[in-house]
Amino acid sequence: MKTIKFRNGDEMPIIGLGTWKSKPGEVFQAVLWALEAGYRHIDCAALYNNEKEVGNAFEQAFKENIVKREDLFVTSKLWNSNHRLDDVPTALKKTLKDLKLDYLDLYLIHWPISFKPGVGFAQHREEFYTYSDVPLIQTWEGMEHCKEQGLTKHIGVSNFNISKLNELINSGSIVPEMNQIELHPFLPQEKLVNFCRSHGILNTAYSPLGSGDRSASIKKANEPSLLENTTIVEIAKKYNASPAQILIAYSIQRGIAVIPKSVNKERINENLAATTIDLSAQDMAKIANIGVSYRYVDGSFFTGPISPYTKDDLWEKE
């Protein structure tokens, strides 16, 4: 299994099973199939509302000796309603209880957006905190405390732009170790990836296949398809692979971890097999010049007239 390395030498499998959008009743079996297939990296989040079921799968996998805890890499994420200093470890302990684990391998701030306690998705202005109410560095301090307490081995962020990363780098005691971001050929994130590399921050690509199965409420009409893009389809035929495998191989070739989601046994196996594809420099160049620019998860559900946040708080201008 290919890996990427943290600054202290710890390794993270470069491919993991994503669990966003995996429904209760499906994710338990999906995680077991993944572990049986050879996955050793599972990506979770409190927001996904399925961590208890993922935890049940872990418990069974350990009992059946499919995998040992020390050989498994588990990531989870802090939701927006737990950004206050004292709420961070409380949230992580809840996640650990749900996942039936003693520690995480990686814990991330899910978004640089803060809600008041108990809010799932803010619907009114009074349900948001501002950066004045809860500065990002306060949340990061809580993350640092979690690492110091041994609740997680590594800490990082998700959906942070360069400005927000610099805020933590300049004010925190620990430089973020990971930035999980939407990344695929339509959104290569070169500027942000290069910044992260220059500061020893790893990257994980979410929605690497375009997240076509996400809720209609956060999709736009006539979104461009990664899986049906002619360049990707042509390259897939050349390697006797599926378009999904080429998209996964694209991130791996760049040294970026990738977490495709599936609850289908055949696709779970197929996605893992993408780690054996070695794309040529010419094909990587074709993908780099694909001619389409698109962000699938645009963050509009956190911005707008009721929110104190704007898209400039989220995204890097390419």
The β-bridge partners of 179 are 157, 203
Query: One-letter amino acid identity for 294?
Result: Y
From residue 125, alpha-carbon distances to 87, 117, 122, 297 in Å are 21, 14, 8, 22
| The one-letter amino acid at 300 | S
Kindly name the residue from 39, 48, 206, 296 that is annotated as catalytic.
Answer: 48
How far is C-alpha 132 from the chain's CA centre?
A: 27
Q: Assign residue 261 a region: left if phi > 0, alpha if psi is -120 to 50, beta otherwise?
A: beta
- Measuring CA to CA, which residue among 128, 111, 123, 37 is closest to residue 77? 111
Burial 37-75 (b: 16+ CB within 10 A, else e): eebbbbbbbbbbebbebbbbbbeebbeeeebeeeebbbb
Whether 239 sits among the annotated catalytic residues: the reply is no
Provide the annotated active-site residues: 48
